[in-house]
Structure 1
């Protein structure tokens, strides 16, 4: 039975699931009725952060154009450009046992591709969620439904896996940003051109 989280909650992942090392983080969403004439393309991205809350290099930013990070321990399975259909829209596979020791936090985000230019925002998105599944058993361990708290934001920090006393925990962040992916990337220490 999955643990259902609310914004701001934290939960043990590996301590309560001994032997767990391979997980899949599934991210999903639905687009409300939208007739602005543009595609509505949401993207998940992952930032691999050190102690200082920043990436150490560009390779610590995992997304549809850089699908591998953390020496292969974090793998983005690819871009879904429509968000249609049931189940996860995008997934990230993580081998927790192989995440390099300098990476303390794995932060999951969802952004709207060209949201500002297309006049799109998360007020037009519903049913956004993140869930963590055991890759070995397929069991859903943690689920976080973001709710409908966003209106003008074009980027969301959904949640993060982080190390705590040698174990991995998950924190449900649910914080919105204006400025899309560029604003997030800058906050996490990437040089945005």
Structure 2
């Protein structure tokens, strides 16, 4: 049975699930009806950050054009350009035991592709969530529903896995960015 998290809640992931190593992080969303005439294309990006919260090298920025880090411990399974249908819209496969030692945080974000040009924002997105599934038995361990707290934002930090000694924890963040992917890449130390 999955644990439903609230914004700001932190939970042990590996300590409460001994032996957990391979997980899938699924992210999903729906778009509200609107008359803008342009399709919505939401994208998941993952930032592998050091202890200072910065990404040391471009290969630690995972997205639809860079689908994995150097040792393939974090892999983006592909871009969903419509968000149609039930279930996860995009997924990230993670091998917790092989994440490089210099990575302290794995942050999951969702941005709207060409949001400004298309006059789109997260106020037009509903039922967005992140969930973590144990690959060994397909059990959903954690779920965080973001709610409808956004209006002008074009990017959201959904949550992050972070090291706590030898264990991994998850932090349900749900923090919006009005300057989308450019704001996220700037704050994570990328140009």
What is the TM-score normalised by the length of structure 1? 0.98
Matches within 5 A, 1:1-193: 1-191=1-191
Q: Provide the secondary structure at the position in 2 that maps to 1:181.
A: helix
Listed one character per residue, the Cα deviations across residues 2-41 of structure 1 (whole Å, up to 9, x for unaligned) are 0100000000000000000000000000000022111110
The answer to whether the Cα contact below 8 Å between 1:70 and 1:100 also exists between their aligned partners in 2 is no
| Stretches of structure 2 lacking an aligned partner (at least 5 in a row) | none
Listed one character per residue, the Cα deviations across residues 140-193 of structure 1 (whole Å, up to 9, x for unaligned) are 0000000000000000000000000210000000000011101100100001xx
Q: Provide the secondary structure at the position in 2 that maps to 1:117.
A: helix
Two-structure CA RMSD over aligned residues (Å): 0.6
| Stretches of structure 1 lacking an aligned partner (at least 5 in a row) | none
Task: Tell me: CA distance 1:70–1:16, structure 2 relative to 1, closer, same or farther (3 Å).
Answer: farther
Q: Distance in 1 between matches of 2:47 and 2:70?
A: 10
The answer to whether the Cα contact below 8 Å between 1:116 and 1:180 also exists between their aligned partners in 2 is no
Number of aligned residue pairs: give it: 191
Q: Distance in 1 between matches of 2:86 and 2:45?
A: 20
